[in-house]
């Protein structure tokens, strides 16, 4: 499997897992989803919001790549988050719709990433406004790893709330 195929696999895994998470979350009440569970982002809803906000920040940075990814153009209509703890979506149904849109955008976009793009050093600003210059492929690996990390937290919170998310292994999607 080459690097672009690997990124495509991770994008599909992201979508698959998010569908499972949101299906599981939908079995809880709004109050249960918003309950402070002493997690990094408080609640299940806070954790899922953080994932959507973090993805938005990174995708907007990826849109700066000289390849000019037109698949990321719809993000121009969305404000860049300034606080990754914001509860932008207080309603799980609105967040789920946004998440589904974001996941499809990620899949559509990674299909346009070409192998030479991966070796580029991306210039962007971090959340504190400091300039950064990092290898694009490494940033993509971080992007997908960040999703996996926080989905693991959300899965734990759902399990603690009595909801079984089911299989979460990437292995399930590998031929």
CB 143 within 8 A of CB 58: yes
Q: What is the pLDDT of residue 135?
A: 98
3-state secondary structure of 111: coil
**Burial track 105-138 (b if 16+ CB lie within 10 A, e otherwise):** bbeebbeebeeebbeeebebeeeeeeeeeeebbe
pTM of the model: 0.95
Q: Find where tokens 């299940």 sit.
A: 44
Q: Do strands 131-135 and 121-125 pair parallel, antiparallel, or not at all (unpaired)?
A: antiparallel
CA distances in angstroms from 39 to 28, 62, 158, listed in the order given: 17, 28, 12
Q: What is the pLDDT of residue 87?
A: 86
Angle between helices 3-25 and 44-62 (to 10 degrees): 150
Q: What is the pLDDT of residue 144?
A: 98
- Phi/psi for 166 (5° steps) reads 90, -165
The token duo for 15 is 């979508």
Q: Which CATH architecture has domain 3-164?
A: Up-down Bundle (1.20)
Domain extent listing, the chain: 3-164
Q: Tens place of pLDDT for every residue, the chain, 175 residues?
A: 999 999 999 999 999 999 999 999 999 999 999 999 999 999 999 999 999 999 999 999 999 999 999 999 999 999 998 888 888 999 999 999 999 999 999 999 999 999 999 999 999 999 999 999 999 999 999 999 999 999 999 999 999 999 999 999 999 999 8
Q: What is the pLDDT of residue 162?
A: 97
Q: What is the pLDDT of residue 85?
A: 87
Q: Find where tokens 């694009």 sit.
A: 136
The token duo for 6 is 């690997």
Angle between helices 3-25 and 92-110 (to 10 degrees): 170
């Amino acid at each position: 499997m080459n690097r672009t195929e690997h990124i495509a696999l991770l994008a599909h895994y992201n979508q698959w897992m998010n569908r499972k998470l949101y299906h599981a979350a939908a079995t809880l009440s709004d109050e249960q989803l918003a309950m402070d569970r002493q997690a990094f982002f408080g609640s299940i809803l806070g954790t899922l919001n953080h994932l959507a906000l973090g993805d938005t920040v990174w995708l907007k940075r990826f849109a700066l790549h000289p390849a000019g990814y037109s698949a990321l153009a719809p993000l121009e209509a969305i404000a860049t988050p300034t606080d990754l703890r914001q509860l932008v979506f207080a309603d799980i149904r609105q967040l789920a719709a946004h998440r589904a849109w974001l996941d499809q955008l990620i899949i559509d976009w990674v299909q346009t990433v070409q192998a030479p793009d991966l070796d580029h050093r991306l210039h962007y600003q971090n959340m504190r406004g400091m300039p950064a210059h990092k290898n694009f492929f490494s940033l993509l690996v971080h992007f997908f790893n960040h999703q996996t990390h926080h989905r693991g937290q959300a899965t734990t919170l759902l399990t603690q709330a009595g909801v079984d998310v089911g299989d979460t292994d990437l292995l399930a999607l590998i031929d």
